[in-house]
Structure 1
Amino acid sequence: MPPAAILTAVAGIGIVAGLIAAGGQRLRTAIDPEKTAAPTALTAPPAAPVAQWITNPEASMHARPVDDASQFYPAAIDGKPLERVAAAEPEQPAKIPEDKGVNLVRPVAESAGVLAFGDRRLQLADINPTPADKTCTDSKGREWPCGMLAKTNVRLFLRLRTVRCDLDSAEWTGTVTAACRIGTQDISQWLVENGWAEADGGSALADAGETARRTGKGIYGDDPRSIAETGTPENLPSDPPPDGL
């Protein structure tokens, strides 16, 4: 190889080596190892101070928890600490009394207050039955068969419907006394309110009986047959009005 060519090749290799060295120096200057080093561990935030709880037993007895609502209410009134009141018990529904009565079919009114079931008799409670042969006197002094009309009205009321009576059994002998109903209507109450029987002394129907007497209903009034014939209402006088009126 000619000497000139050898010198040219050596000069080129030297130039390349110089460029490589210069580039390495620049890279070391641009990158800071300390700044680019990866963190070895996360730095934890400073721990919050631990609450110091009250250890004095006397002080802890009066401690009172505070929430969003309690801050608006005083811890004591007139120097006395507030006390927690137990929650009110929910109101229980009223218990319906058990109906222990029995059904009696096809009752027949023997009088206003006595029902017949074949050869057995049942006297309605809380009333004095009106005998079928009883007579009453109207406002004009005339007698009328109030007992028979009372019996007739009771039969029209019953219409042979089944009654429910406060008895332990549907079987008995002779005569028993019990309260009876048709649906929710107490038969004794119906008799007293309409004046077809007197309330027993001291019974709960005494006031109703006094009202019937005062208003002239049933046996306390006039013969309803004469009222039906004349068309005169019970609450108006039966005497004709004076002339000119």
Structure 2
Amino acid sequence: MRPAAILTAVAGIGVVVGLIGAGGQRLGRTVDPNQTSEPAPDGGQAEGTTTPAPQPTTNPQASMNARAIDAASQFYPAAVDGKPLERVAAPEPEKPKATEEKEGTNLPRPVAESAGVLGFGDRRLQLADIIPTPADKVCTDPSGVEWPCGMLAKTNFRLFLRLRTVRCDLDSADWSGTVTTSCKIGTQDLSQWLVETGWADAADGSALVEAGTKAKQDQKGLHGEDPRKGVPVPGPLPDEPADPL
């Protein structure tokens, strides 16, 4: 055998013997169950070690930030001014107020029989607070010329209504003969519209007297000239449809 090979074999055997000896020394040590690895050479915590949880102390002086329990805190609920606190129920959210339905009755497709009188089949409704203008009324303008103001008042009232539904101060749509009440289209009061445009006079003592006085001063409607002057006379209006009621 060559000398180099012999030296290599001897060196390998020496390394193996050294490793076996080191392992035997390690196995001979007492293993701490709370320590899973050797301590670091600098005395710090070695990587991979688990620190044991601190054990509770039985020494009351060792507890930090401890305070004695006073007599008042032994009772529940706590007392204020000698009176125990009471549990108060959480307030319920306020419910929105129900919208009150406006009083009145809807009457569809009113027919203007005159400026101030509505027809519903064989029933009549006269608007309150005004003096209806008869359809055959004849007026005289400031220059002394007569003109059919009653027919024009009725025509203008019909054009304003346009067969829209009116809401009247009635308990129901069931009545007979003629009834007198107030009516509106939306927020517009029909009696007020007739007086302000001058196509009907306000009744004495009503809230529309002032509006009627202003319409006379402004020479509106019945209190002015024939509005057809200088305007071609239109043909007759088509017949109103029959009331389905």
Which bracket does the TM-score occupy, shorter chain normalised?
Answer: 0.5 to 0.7
Task: Report the RMSD for the aligned CA atoms in angstroms.
Answer: 3.4
Aligned partner of residue 164 in structure 2, secondary structure: coil
1:158 maps to: 161
Aligned partner of residue 110 in structure 1, secondary structure: strand
C-alpha deviation, 1:129, in angstroms: 0.1
2:203 maps to: 200
Q: Name the count of aligned residue pairs.
A: 158
TM-score (norm 2): 0.54
2:224 maps to: 221
Distance 1:97 1:204, change over 3 A: farther
Which structure 2 residues correspond to residues 1-245 of structure 1 after superposition, within 5 A?
A: 98-228=101-231
Unaligned runs of 5+ in 1: 1-94, 230-245
Measured against aligned partners, the alpha-carbon deviations of 1:51-93 in whole angstroms (never above 9, x if no partner) come to xxxxxxxxxxxxxxxxxxxxxxxxxxxxxxxxxxxxxxxxxxx
Measured against aligned partners, the alpha-carbon deviations of 1:162-221 in whole angstroms (never above 9, x if no partner) come to 111010010100000111111111111110000000011111111111110000000000
| Higher helix content, 1 or 2 | 1
TM-score (norm 1): 0.54
Question: d(CA) in 2 for partners of 1:202 and 1:138?
Answer: 27
C-alpha deviation, 1:98, in angstroms: 4.7
Aligned partner of residue 133 in structure 2, secondary structure: coil
2:95 maps to: none
Aligned partner of residue 147 in structure 1, secondary structure: helix
One-letter code of the match for 1:113?
A: G
Measured against aligned partners, the alpha-carbon deviations of 1:88-121 in whole angstroms (never above 9, x if no partner) come to xxxxxxx987511111011000000000000000
Q: Displaced runs of 4+ in structure 1, greater than 3 A?
A: 95-98
Distance 1:202 1:144, change over 3 A: same
Unaligned runs of 5+ in 2: 1-97, 233-245
Question: d(CA) in 2 for partners of 1:210 and 1:96?
Answer: 38
Distance 1:190 1:141, change over 3 A: same
Distance 1:226 1:121, change over 3 A: same
Question: d(CA) in 2 for partners of 1:203 and 1:97?
Answer: 28
C-alpha deviation, 1:228, in angstroms: 3.1
C-alpha deviation, 1:227, in angstroms: 4.8
